[in-house]
């Protein structure tokens, strides 16, 4: 997907991230593979389109992506490392995850067996559960945002692009975003279409659509335009997967139906609840259960009365002023499948004011259930009776009593839960007491954003109704969850890995390194160092010893003994030497070396034999001695005597002259000539 003409390729953002090949392109940004020059690692850089950089709303949403995603530390969520602005180029630095998307796998392998589809959805729900637990919603769950390893297996599944996630609070739960409904039409929950409201159950709905698509290979609602798809989400139930692929167990159909119920109150409250239900279904599949009426009944959406199958009514004309003016898919640049304007589809208001519209059927009109229109007929003229005033008075009294009862039971006995998030436990208790309410602590949890000892959440939520003098349950923050890196030096790799995981951290990489002191196979150190406090599931690398580094032994035979000893000592060897006479090797040179080749390690011994040069003997004074005595003396010194009669030889056999002369230094074995008289 690389584009050689892309001006971003080769650019270094913020002096740190060198941009490489393009990975993907979306409606808000383009994603490139990049290199972190500081840490020498591959990352993914998400760069906002230049055309959107001038739009303050889009810029705020892009920056909110970094803050929201950075709060999530979970192994099934793509990690966010950094955010920056390089001369007007807004970018986000994320974990680089090689592999494929769930969309690629669906195109290739769907329909999938239920066991495989559920195994793939399990880590997706784990990621969404972590987000929901942190108070965020994804808002754009779809196959393109689920990243898989190359083999398409469930191990290593990660959920990407929390750019549409928002902190769940009173403001974001009751309004759309500036009249714009963000999401992918095929995965939008009905309430997002009709009112723009979003909570964790909207993510659950999208996850149910994902499961349907994996089981059948097709999207549940398809039409010629996005608005028709949105209309079907509101007015039509997701069909059971077994209708498209026979043989799927009914309890799997029930799980899909429960997750995609059009009434949000019928769905699991969040991804954690759906994950629990999914694992019950997986357990039934693992045991080969083909039909489990009890499980099916437990999972199937509840029905209320004879009209339970009626369509969910859309807001009337007066209630649709907050309908979104358009629906945007942030994952693609645009197109009929990704964006449509409701105002354009149904026409602007006659007054020129912002269009107020109600969603209508895209094709043939469909009667709205539950509405009866009476045609006017001849006027009815009741007969006058004397009991009329009395009945009217009774009726007025009954209406008054009903009104008072409704006011009391519906309004008067209730108050509003005050907001106490981020307050200390004592301050929260005082504020609730002042409002006439009691407080109870229902639990404690880690929080990256709320200080230790402060309130992280309440039940009921702030702004919700509660009986006067009622009790508000609060959860108290334990502060950021941090765990110390254990001391692993000297451990084997297996023991070190277990110690890191026991400390609620993730094992990263094992880096091999030579070391003179730590035996081979033992851990030298960890990175980060022991004692460092990290977030849960943060990866910790370990450096493992390869033992002493092998050293090549150079051969110094025939070379200077002094240089040989210095060089071998510098390499870490222990050098010893002995000397001996040599007729072939000059003095001071190495006669032999042991060992003379191969490899060794620091501290190994090497022996050198150093030449003393040839051995010399002093020629003795032998004049006047008999030849036999002189010859014996020379032979004892290692010299070779040679007899020679002088011109004056008279038969005495006495030495008259010695050559070389007495006192001369000659090599052992040299010939000494004796002149006799």
Active centre residues (catalytic): 140
Residue listed under structure tokens 């003795």: 620
Q: Which of 416, 450, 538 is nearest to 135 (CA)?
A: 450
CA 146 from centre of chain:
12
DSSP code at position 368? P
Torsion angles phi and psi, residue 606, rounded to 5: -130, 130
Which residues are registered as beta bridge partners of 24? 31
3-class SS of residue 121: helix
CA distance linking residue 8 with residue 13, whole number of Å:
9
The angle, 0 to 180 degrees and rounded to 10, between the axes of the packed helices 102-109 and 200-216 is 30
Residue-wise over 139-171: b if at least 16 C-beta within 10 A, else e?
Answer: bbbbbbbbbbeeebeeebbbbbbbbbbbebeee
CA distances from 348 to 175, 357, 358, 544 (A): 21, 8, 12, 70
Strand order in the sheet with 100-101: 100-101, 146-148, 158-159
DSSP 527-553: ESPTT-EEETT-EEEEEEE--SPPEE-
- Number of H-type helices and E-type strands within the chain: 17, 34
Residue 537: how many CB atoms within 10 A of its CB? 18
Q: Which of 543, 540, 542, 544 is nearest to 484 (CA)?
A: 540
Residue listed under structure tokens 């051995």: 615
Residue 634: how many CB atoms within 10 A of its CB? 22
**Contacts for 315 with CB less than 8 Å, ≥ 6 apart:** 194, 195, 323, 358
SS3 content of the chain, % helix, strand, coil (to 5): 30, 25, 45
Note whether 557 and 534 are within 8 A (CB).
Answer: no
CA distance linking residue 288 with residue 342, whole number of Å:
48
Strand order in the sheet with 640-645: 640-645, 671-676, 655-659
CA distance linking residue 181 with residue 311, whole number of Å:
22
């Amino acid at each position: 997907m690389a584009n050689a003409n892309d001006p971003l390729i080769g650019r270094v953002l913020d002096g740190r991230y060198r941009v490489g090949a393009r990975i993907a392109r979306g409606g808000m940004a383009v994603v490139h593979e990049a290199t972190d020059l500081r840490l020498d690692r591959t990352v993914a850089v998400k760069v906002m389109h230049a055309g959107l950089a001038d739009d303050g709303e889009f810029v705020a949403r892009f920056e909110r992506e970094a803050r929201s995603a950075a709060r999530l530390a979970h192994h099934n969520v793509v990690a966010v490392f950094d955010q920056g602005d390089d001369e007007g180029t807004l970018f986000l630095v994320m974990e680089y995850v090689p592999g494929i998307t769930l969309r690629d796998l669906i195109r290739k392998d769907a329909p999938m067996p239920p066991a495989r589809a559920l195994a793939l959805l399990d880590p997706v729900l784990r990621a969404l559960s972590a987000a929901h637990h942190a108070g965020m919603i994804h808002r754009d769950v779809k196959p393109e945002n689920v990243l898989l390893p190359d083999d398409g297996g469930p191990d290593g599944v990660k959920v990407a692009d929390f750019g549409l996630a928002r902190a769940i609070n009173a403001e974001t739960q009751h309004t759309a975003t500036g009249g714009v409904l963000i999401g992918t039409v095929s995965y939008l929950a009905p309430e997002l279409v009709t009112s723009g409201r979003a909570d964790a159950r909207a993510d659950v709905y999208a996850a149910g659509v994902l499961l349907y698509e994996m089981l059948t290979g097709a999207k549940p609602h398809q039409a010629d335009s996005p608005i028709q798809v949105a209309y079907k989400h509101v007015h039509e139930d997701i069909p059971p997967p077994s209708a498209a692929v026979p043989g799927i167990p009914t309890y799997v159909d029930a799980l899909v139906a429960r997750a995609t119920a059009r009434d949000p109150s019928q769905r699991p409250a969040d991804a954690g609840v759906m994950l629990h239900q999914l694992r019950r279904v997986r357990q039934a599949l693992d045991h080969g259960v083909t039909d489990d009426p009890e499980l099916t009944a437990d999972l199937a959406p509840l029905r209320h009365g004879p009209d339970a199958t009626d369509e969910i009514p859309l807001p009337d004309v007066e209630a649709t002023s907050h309908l979104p003016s358009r629906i945007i898919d942030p994952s693609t640049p645009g197109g009929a499948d990704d964006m449509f304007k409701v105002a354009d589809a149904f026409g602007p208001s006659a007054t020129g004011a912002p269009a107020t519209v109600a969603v209508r059927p895209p094709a043939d009109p469909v009667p709205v259930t539950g509405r009866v229109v009476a045609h006017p007929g001849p006027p009815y003229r009741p007969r006058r009776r004397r009991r009329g005033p009395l009945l009217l008075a009774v009726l007025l009294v009954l209406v008054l009593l009903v009104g008072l009862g409704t006011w009391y039971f519906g309004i008067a006995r209730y108050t509003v839960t005050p907001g106490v998030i981020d307050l200390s436990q004592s301050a929260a208790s005082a504020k609730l007491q002042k409002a006439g309410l009691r407080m109870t602590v229902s639990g404690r949890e880690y929080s990256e954003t709320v200080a230790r000892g402060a309130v992280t959440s309440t039940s009921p939520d702030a702004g919700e109704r509660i009986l006067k003098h009622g009790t508000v349950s609060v959860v108290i923050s334990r502060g950021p969850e941090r765990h110390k890196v254990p001391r692993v030096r000297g451990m084997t790799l297996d023991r070190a890995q277990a110690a890191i995981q026991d400390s609620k951290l993730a094992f990263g990489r094992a880096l091999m390194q030579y070391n003179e002191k730590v035996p081979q196979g033992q851990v030298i150190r960890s990175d980060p160092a022991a004692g460092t406090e990290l977030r849960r599931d943060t990866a910790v690398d370990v450096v493992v010893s390869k033992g002493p580094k092998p050293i090549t032994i150079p051969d110094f035979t025939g070379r200077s003994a002094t240089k040989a000893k210095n060089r071998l000592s510098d390499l870490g060897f222990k050098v010893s030497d002995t000397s001996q006479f040599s007729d072939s090797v000059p003095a001071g040179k190495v006669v032999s070396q042991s060992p003379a080749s191969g490899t060794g390690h620091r501290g190994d011994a090497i022996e050198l034999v150093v030449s003393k040069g040839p051995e010399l003997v002093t020629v003795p004074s032998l004049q006047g001695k008999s030849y036999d005595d002189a010859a014996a003396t020379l032979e004892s010194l290692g010299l070779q005597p040679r007899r020679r009669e002088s011109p004056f030889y008279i038969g005495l056999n006495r030495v008259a002259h010695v050559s070389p002369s007495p006192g001369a230094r000659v090599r052992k074995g040299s010939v000494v000539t004796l002149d006799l008289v």
